[in-house]
């Protein structure tokens, strides 16, 4: 899987987080172990307003290939109040029959 494929599923997830579309994230199965309410609480606890990152910041995603699996661990530092923060989105991107899926693993301070 190349970086563009990962970004193709990561960017919409970040957009939905920034837009507060937590129910849509849950309905689409990208929420991982969290309910929509828990996702909102994880972000609200940090403080400030989650904002969209500049396009050129996506070069800073950390991608780790999981050995012997069709998946990747991805970490990305979210932006709060138009500034990069230490609030990190950890997720898993999987390749399934010519399509990628993404699932949140954690939103935490790193």
User: In this predicted structure, what is the pLDDT of residue 90?
Assistant: 97
pLDDT of residue 97: 77
pTM of the full structure: 0.93
Q: How far apart are CA 76 and CA 63, in angstroms?
A: 9
Question: Can you give the residue ranges of every domain in the chain?
Answer: 3-109
**pLDDT at position 12:** 97
Contact (CB, 8 A) for 43 and 17? yes
* pLDDT, position 2: 82
Domain 3-109 has CATH 3.10.450: yes
d(CA 55, CA 99) in angstroms, rounded, equals 23
Neighbours of 99 (CB within 10 A): 10
Check residue 75 and give its pLDDT: 96
Mean pLDDT per 10-residue section of the chain, whose length is 110 residues: 89 97 97 97 95 94 91 96 97 88 95
Q: Residue 36: what pLDDT? A: 97
Q: Give the pLDDT of residue 11.
A: 97
> What is residue 95's predicted lDDT score, i.e. its pLDDT?
87
């Amino acid at each position: 899987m190349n970086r563009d494929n990962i970004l193709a599923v990561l960017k919409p997830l970040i957009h939905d987080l920034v837009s507060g579309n937590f129910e849509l994230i849950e309905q689409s199965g990208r929420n991982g172990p969290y309910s929509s309410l828990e996702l909102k609480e994880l972000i609200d606890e940090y403080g400030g307003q989650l904002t969209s990152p500049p396009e050129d910041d996506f070069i800073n995603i950390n991608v780790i290939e999981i050995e012997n699996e069709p998946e990747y661990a991805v970490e990305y530092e979210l932006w709060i109040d138009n500034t990069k923060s230490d609030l990190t989105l950890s997720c898993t991107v999987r390749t399934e029959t010519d399509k990628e899926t993404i699932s949140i693993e954690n939103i935490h301070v790193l």
